[in-house]
Structure 1
Amino acid sequence: MNLQEHYDTLYKESISEISSDNYEIDPMIHADNDRRFGMSLLIRPPMDVKIKIQRFLEDLKSLEPNQYYYPNSDIHITVISIISCYDGLMLRNLNVPAYVEQIANSLKNAKKFSISCQGITASPSCIMIQGFMGDNHLNTIRNNLRRDFKDSNLEQSMDERYLIQTAHATVFRFTEPLKQKERFLELVEKYRNHDFGSFQVNKLELSYNDWYHRERLVTNLHEFKIGNSKT
């Protein structure tokens, strides 16, 4: 997969949809009865990258203050969704130690890798930071997890929604019609190739999370060190 071509195609198609007012407003983001939960393996970008992301979001917020902007605590890159969010998944029904053991086994030979956060892309429902991997280590981790979980008896739904191959971070969602659409799109274009920084990944977080990974609803289940550190 050519990641740049994928991001470019997604951006072009989505900006066309947004320009035509065909963007998707999220009806659940402020709902009190949203019970969609799942289990994910995540990467948390460092604070210096998040600070640059927040500067971008503050610029968007100055035009469209009532849209949904991810706070630093919620910004993440998904390695893989072990269990995709669905209504009614309860943490108490999950054998967390078994998941930790399974993932640790899959990660035992995992190497550190780097992610470069360069530019933004979009979908009809959100704006995302583009992440680029410096090598194939992240995809190797994903493939090992897919292989090992298929041979286990643990509940999992990897790749049922889509085959994750990117390293993007969702940072904005539409919650109402745009009031200043043209200026919004101009600002998005301004940040199309913006440098948000790079970082090395040496740990992964297993979480029980809601659809939006809101800090108040997330339970951090385990942290895995990768590379030369012990898990």
Structure 2
Amino acid sequence: MNLENHYKKLYEESISKISSDNYEIDNLIDSEKDKRFGLTLLIRPSNEIKKEIHKFLKKIKKIEPNQYYYPNSDIHITVMSIISCYNGFDMSKIDIQKYIELTKKCLLEGVDLNISFKGITASPSGVMIQGFMDNNELNDIRDRLRKEFKNSNLEQSLDKRYSIQTAHSTIIRFKTELSQKEKFLKFLNKNINYDFGTFKVNKFELVYNDWYQREQYVKKIYEFVT
């Protein structure tokens, strides 16, 4: 996959939808009735990157203060949704040790991976940072996870929603109607190539999480240091 072309196409299609008021508002963000939970393997960017994201969000928040902005604690890259969030997922019903062992097997030793957060893209439901890998290691890990979990008898839903191949990070979700849409879109366009920096991946986290990866709901199950 050519990531640059993929992100560009996604941006153009999504901006067109947002411009014509065909964007998606998430009504579950503030709902206490949202009980969707799952199991995810993720990467967290460095503190330096998070500071840059915070600076960026602070500016856009002044234009659209009522949208959902990811706090530093929740920013992540999904390596793989091992069990996609659904209502009623109960972690006590699975053998978590087997998930740890299988994931460990897929990560191998000495992962050498850098991710650059450069530029933004969008979806009909929010704004994301474009992530670029300096080699194919992340997708090799994903392929090993797919193979190992599909050959196991463990509960999993890998690629159920879509086959993940990017290293993007969602930073804004729409939770209400855009009040200053034109200014918002102008800001995105002006900052389309915003450089958030590059970081070296030195650990992966296996977590129990809600749909939005909010800190108050996330339980770190295991940290794999590479």
TM-score of the superposed pair, with normalisation by structure 1: 0.96
In structure 2, how many angstroms separate the alpha carbons of the residues matched to 1:110 and 1:151? 25
In structure 2, how many angstroms separate the alpha carbons of the residues matched to 1:9 and 1:66? 27
Corresponding residue for residue 151 of structure 2:
151
Please give the residue correspondences for 1:1-231 in structure 2 after superposition, counting only pairs within 5 Å.
1-109=1-109, 111-226=111-226
State the SS of the aligned residue for 2:164.
coil
What residue identity is the alignment partner of 1:26? D
Deviations 1:69-113 (A, max 9, x none): 000000000001000011110121121111001111111246220
State the SS of the aligned residue for 1:159.
coil
State the SS of the aligned residue for 2:177.
coil
Count of equivalent residues: 226
State the SS of the aligned residue for 2:163.
coil
* RMSD of aligned alpha carbons: 0.8
Once the two structures are TM-superposed, the CA of residue 56 in structure 1 deviates from its matched residue by 1.1
What residue identity is the alignment partner of 2:189? E
Once the two structures are TM-superposed, the CA of residue 190 in structure 1 deviates from its matched residue by 1.5
Structure 1 consecutive aligned stretches of length 4 or more whose deviation exceeds 6 Å:
none
Where do 5+ consecutive residues of structure 1 fail to align?
227-231
Once the two structures are TM-superposed, the CA of residue 117 in structure 1 deviates from its matched residue by 0.2
TM-score of the superposed pair, with normalisation by structure 2: 0.98
State the SS of the aligned residue for 1:154.
coil
Where do 5+ consecutive residues of structure 2 fail to align?
none
State the SS of the aligned residue for 1:152.
coil
Between 11-20 and 103-112, report the one with greater CA deviation: 103-112
Distance 1:155 1:203, change over 3 A: same
In structure 1, how many angstroms separate the alpha carbons of the residues matched to 2:174 and 2:37? 21
What residue identity is the alignment partner of 2:120? I
What residue identity is the alignment partner of 1:6? H
In structure 2, how many angstroms separate the alpha carbons of the residues matched to 1:57 and 1:34? 25
